[in-house]
Amino acid sequence: MRDLATAWTRLEAVAQAAPERRIDSLFDIEPDRLARLSLEAPELFLDLSKQPWSLADLDVALDLARAGGIEAAREALFAGDVVNPSEDRAAQHAALRAAKGADFKAKGEPVSAEIDATRAAIAALAGAVRSGAKRGATGKPFRAIVHIGIGGSDFGPRLVWEALRPLSPQIELRFAANVDPADMALALDGLDPAQTLVVVVSKTFTTLETITNAQVARDWLRAALGTAGDTHLLAVSAAPAVAQAFGVPADQVFGFRDWVGGRYSVWSAVGLSCAIALGAEAFEEFLAGGLAMDDHFRSAPLDQNAPVLLALAHIYNRNGLSRPIRAVVPYAQRLRLLPNFLQQLEMESNGKQTTAHGAPVARATAAAVFGDAGTNVQHAFFQLMHQGTDIIPVDILAVAKASEGESANQPKLTANAIAQAEALMVGKTEAAVRAELAGQPQALIDELAPQKTFHGNRPSSFILLDRLTPRALGALIALYEHKTFVEGVLWEINSFDQWGVELGKTLAVRILAELEGGAPGVHDPSTTSLVTRLKV
């Protein structure tokens, strides 16, 4: 561990020089900069040359990765060792997307046969629903699915559906997550219960929001179809008995295991609604993309390893340059939910102040992530990105070839993606601005020139997909999963637990009881006043 501490100290020391130099000038003094900092990974091209590190700094960052034991940690992850010690669990999401007949284990227990069986059951159900072989209680084919879940039981499937829905207009998929009744009302609006499947997804099957919404959906089905409405219920859970007790027919409950973390679960039966709505072939392609990235992560040398380099670029900004925020901007409307997905993946995984051994962390951990689709964000927060007082690193994503029917606009989109990355790095000098203003009164030029100057030197990572296919989406999500894992290893935290979400849940249950007439609890004056105000 002393090696790791030394490696951290070196990284933090070399990064101190970065603000004093220009990223764009590094291309002049480092002829192989672009070659060393860009790479082809499965389904995507990654360019990290607009990050503030020099190539010498990159070597220091790679030393940090080695000192942090990334290679051994990676092997432990794929071997199914306990990498989530506070819950005594493996994190074996890679097994879910392995080739059929693989031999993965979780804590020594073979898991691949069960995974293959679940994948076959998902494919069979998806095929039956899509072909009309499986119909509703009144004999009509299913036309819609309402997916109920929250957090990891929602973000992944929602992202996958939004990204890939043009593939399959046959079945509409809607989502409800929030306990706000408005969310369920919108999800059910205009749907025919006789032609709707409800998929309730909850690892624990105890989550307040999900169970509340599932009850609403069950009542909605029963009101139209009587008790036969329950045959339109499907469940996905690591607690199948609880799902059955809720009323889901036993043969419509799909399981997954506790070694699948919620935010890593889209590859499991949690993706069932997507498999039905998009087709099992598309879902299998999505899994294959994840597998391709797993193979790359496991086999590529660290200096050509996309998840490792993406993590190190982030760490350089986060720890070397104390930058607490990162933006994610997909120049693809269909990827607009990627930032939401990454908020849970990165902030729930790595928003930790204690190491996996219970000691205070030695340095800052996950940055806050925000973002939305380009070009929209250029008309929202990009002013601050270019000229604000904080430097915010950004992941810019683009798709080279449009899906059918969108192609005429695609160059406008990609041109903006490239232009923003260039503008952030290169900026526009005051001299150039003054030259443009020449001829205006000098006092006006003096006033305007600084306001129109872009200092630039603002970092970005660029991720380019060839097309937004199921396979490319799978590779992209797995890229970010492994990036998150690498960061967690270097920060010495457990990326697979989430104790920080528990306290609020417990307090909400107590406060709900008080709001509904229960005995007043002991709170601070502010909380007491709010409870009193809202008591029914």
Which residue number, 43 or 209, has a Cβ lying nearer to ligand F6P? 209
505 noted as active-site residue: yes
Smallest gap, in angstroms, from Cβ of residue 260 to ligand F6P? 10
Backbone angles phi, psi at 32, to 5 degrees: -100, 20
Which residues contact residue 228 at a Cβ distance below 8 angstroms, ignoring those fewer than 6 apart? 137
15: CB partners within 8 A, 6+ apart:
52, 53, 57, 316, 319, 320, 321
Q: What secondary structure does DSSP assign to 320-384, as a single string? A: IS---EEEEEEE-GGGTTHHHHHIIIIIIHH--SB-TTSSBPSS--PPEEEE--TTGGGGTTHHH
Q: Which of 210, 305, 317, 484 binds ligand F6P (CB under 6 A)?
A: 210
User: Residues 102-131: x/- map of binding to ligand F6P (CB under 6 A)?
Assistant: ------------------------------
The distance of closest approach from Cβ of residue 501 to ligand F6P in the complex, given in angstroms and rounded to an integer, is 4
Residue 187 CB, shortest distance to ligand F6P, in Å, is 17
Residue of 20, 357, 379, 502 marked catalytic: 379
Check if 482 is active-site. no
- Specify the stretch interacting with ligand F6P by CB under 6 A; choose among 125-133, 185-193, 201-209, 479-487: 201-209
Binding mask 454-493 for ligand F6P (x = CB under 6 A): ----------------------------------------
203 makes contact with ligand F6P (CB under 6 A):
yes
Amino acid at 177: A
β-pair type (196-201, 233-237): parallel
Q: Could you tell me which of 358, 355, 367 has the C-alpha nearest to residue 321? A: 367
> Interface mask (CB under 6 A) for ligand F6P, residues 247-266, using x and -?
---------------xx---
- If one asks whether residue 204 binds ligand F6P (CB under 6 A), the answer comes out as yes
- DSSP class of 16: T
Binding window for ligand F6P (CB under 6 A); candidates: 116-124, 136-144, 146-154, 383-391 = 146-154
> Between residue 328 and residue 367, which ones bind ligand F6P under the rule CB under 6 A?
348
- Which of 162, 284, 346, 348 is an active site residue? 348
Residue with tokens 């609006």: 189
Q: In Å, how far are 63, 118, 245, 351 from 112, measured between CA atoms?
A: 35, 10, 28, 31
Residue 268 CA to residue 361 CA, distance in Å, equals: 32
Cβ atoms 307, 486 nearer than 8 A: yes
Active site residue 379: yes
178 forms part of the interface with ligand F6P (CB under 6 A)? no
Do 235 and 252 meet the contact criterion of CB atoms below 8 Å apart?
A: yes
Pick from 46, 98, 150, 332 the residue near ligand F6P by CB under 6 A: 150
Q: Which residues are at the interface with ligand F6P (CB under 6 A)?
A: 150-153, 202-204, 207, 210, 262-263, 348, 498, 501
So which residues are the catalytic ones?
Answer: 348, 379, 505
